[in-house]
Amino acid sequence: MMKPRSAAAPTPPQRGDAGRDSGPMVASRLIAVLRTGRSYAIGNPVFTAQLEQLLDVLAPVLRDEAEARVTLVQDELLFNGQPVGSRMANVRHAEQLAHEMLVREITGVRFLDGLTLPELEMFMRYFVPSEVHRGAELVRACAAQGVCHALPLLAGQEAPETPDEDDGGTPEAYTHAVETCSTLLREARALLGRGLPRGVESHHYKRLLQPVVDAAFAGQPISAGLADLDEGGIGPWVHGVRVSVLVAGVAHRLGLHRRTVAELAAAALIEATHDAGLTRLSGEARAVARRSSLSRLAHRTSLDPVSLLAMRLPFEGEANAPVTLSAQVVRAACAYVTHASSRSAGATRWTPYEALGLVLADANAYHAAVKLALAQTLGVYPPGQIVEFDDGTVARVCAAWPGDPERPLVERMTGPAGARTTHTVRTVVIALPAQRRIARAVPFARGTQAA
């Protein structure tokens, strides 16, 4: 039985007003979530409402202190290092939550700044049913689903660990590729973030994308710019930017001339930008406007209007137009990005590995050379995919390493056999160790319900 803390005991150092007063509320909300999860399925509005209330309580703490850590230390429940049970009602909640942690064979839960409702819901899929996942298996299951901001804690995980000495650090080529893609997004937002721009010519788009094209020809892993396709809350123009990055990589892999690669990437971005700017037009008016814009683009590049129009065939249903190799490159890139970033209500959510499989499985849509170039650009396990090594380590793929599509650049999320490391998940990006192999691509949990 836990006892109320004596008033004469010394007061621990206080890290912030939000953390000092939120411990009892967080404990209470966690208990409410667990109770509700036993009666309602994950995704039920009643359960979702409980998760939203928990996020509301966590928000000021995460804003001020970047983390909210509930830990059980020698039969006493602490919140960011301060005791929770100082009042009678709080003692009851502290005891209940301590019991729930013991049942799950963990010593605490850590929430990090950046936690979202979908990620918290995914965490609860494994945390609520205590009879299914416990201890290291619970940690491993959460990490395998890409849960980065809600972490079960095991005994001995209070002190941070250091990266393996043989990691060798993040490859410089990867760092340059990430910087190039980040700069592209930032500059594209300034140019395109407010809708269809006026007075912007095709050479502006090509100049915008030139650093990405240069990076591709320099052998840098530009697929690093596609590691966060499942990220929500983005503008419609971002789709075009991502497609253009993938187009540059695939076209380069096909051995196309640098000028053609640049024009294809620009065409993909222009088409997507015009689509976003024509959303208010009716179907026929939109089709006429698109043909006009693509025809104007064709006069400024070496790409013909039929080839440019064919880029959108899978989404417009114009199945009778001829499809050139250039159009197939853009179509394949667009199809992959669409599948991998789908977050529409009721739509199936595909992992990057599954999204690539869907494109490659479309036997008659793409030339074999286009499929091969797409697989080489993305790798067998595309960026953003959660994978498991043969020793049980769970990692996230960051980019395909040029020249070896089966051995990507990764960042470890757990140690061997699923043991949780205490870094903030995203640490050093390394090449897949020579002595390790990827045993499987971890799928998303679908249809899982709390007991």
pLDDT band at residue 309 under the 50/70/90 scheme: very low
Beta strand 438-441 pairing with 430-431: unpaired
Question: Residues 107, 50, 83, 17: is their CA dihedral positive or negative?
Answer: positive
Asked whether the predicted pLDDT for residue 211 surpasses 60, the reply is yes
* Contact predicate 145/153, CB 8 Å: no
Mean pLDDT of the region 320-337: 77
Asked whether the predicted pLDDT for residue 196 surpasses 60, the reply is no
Helices (H), 201-236: 202-217
Asked whether the predicted pLDDT for residue 379 surpasses 60, the reply is yes
Instruction: Name the more confident of 278 and 172.
Output: 172
- The CA-atom distances, in angstroms, between 337 and each of 147, 229, 331 are 22, 7, 10
| pLDDT tens-place string over residues 223-277 | 999 988 876 556 667 888 999 999 999 999 988 888 889 888 988 887 766 654 4
* Contact predicate 41/106, CB 8 Å: no
Chain Cα centroid distance, residue 353: 13
Asked whether the predicted pLDDT for residue 290 surpasses 90, the reply is no
pLDDT in the model for residue 167: 52
**Closest by Cα among 123, 98, 100 to 111:** 123
| pLDDT tens-place string over residues 333-370 | 988 998 888 765 556 778 899 999 999 998 778 888 99
76 bridge partner residues: 73
Asked whether the predicted pLDDT for residue 321 surpasses 60, the reply is no
Helices (H), 218-324: 237-253, 258-277, 283-300, 305-310, 313-316
Mean pLDDT of the region 182-211: 78
Q: What is the DSSP letter of 333?
A: H
Q: Where are the beta strands (DSSP E) in 113-204?
A: 150-153
b/e sequence 359-386, b meaning 16+ C-beta within 10 Å: bbeeeebbeeebbbbbbbbbbbbbbbbb
- The CA-atom distances, in angstroms, between 410 and each of 4, 150, 378, 403 are 46, 21, 13, 16
pLDDT band at residue 156 under the 50/70/90 scheme: low
Contacts of 296-304 spanning 24+ positions with Cβ under 8 A: 297/202, 297/267, 297/270, 300/201, 300/202, 300/203, 301/202, 301/263, 301/266, 301/267, 302/259, 302/260, 302/263, 303/263, 303/264, 303/267
Asked whether the predicted pLDDT for residue 33 surpasses 80, the reply is yes
* Contact predicate 84/93, CB 8 Å: yes
CA angle 52, 396, 215 (to 5 degrees): 115
pLDDT in the model for residue 245: 95
Q: What is the DSSP letter of 171?
A: -
Q: Which residues contact 172 (CB under 8 A, 6 or more apart)?
A: none
End-to-end CA, the chain: 27
Asked whether the predicted pLDDT for residue 286 surpasses 50, the reply is yes
pLDDT in the model for residue 159: 38
| pLDDT tens-place string over residues 415-433 | 676 555 544 444 578 888 8
pLDDT band at residue 85 under the 50/70/90 scheme: low
In percent, the amount of the chain with pLDDT more than 70 equals 70
Instruction: Name the more confident of 297 and 30.
Output: 30
CA angle 441, 442, 443 (to 5 degrees): 110
pLDDT in the model for residue 355: 92
Tokens of 171: 């490859």
Tokens of 26: 């967080």
d(CA 225, CA 223): 5
d(CA 253, CA 368): 13
d(CA 332, CA 326): 10
| pLDDT tens-place string over residues 100-136 | 888 888 888 989 888 889 889 989 988 888 777 788 7
**Closest by Cα among 164, 167, 154, 122 to 420:** 154
Mean pLDDT of the region 58-86: 83
* Contact predicate 150/119, CB 8 Å: yes
d(CA 364, CA 43): 38
d(CA 425, CA 396): 10
pLDDT band at residue 160 under the 50/70/90 scheme: very low
Q: What is the DSSP letter of 421?
A: P
| Average pLDDT, rounded, for the chain | 76
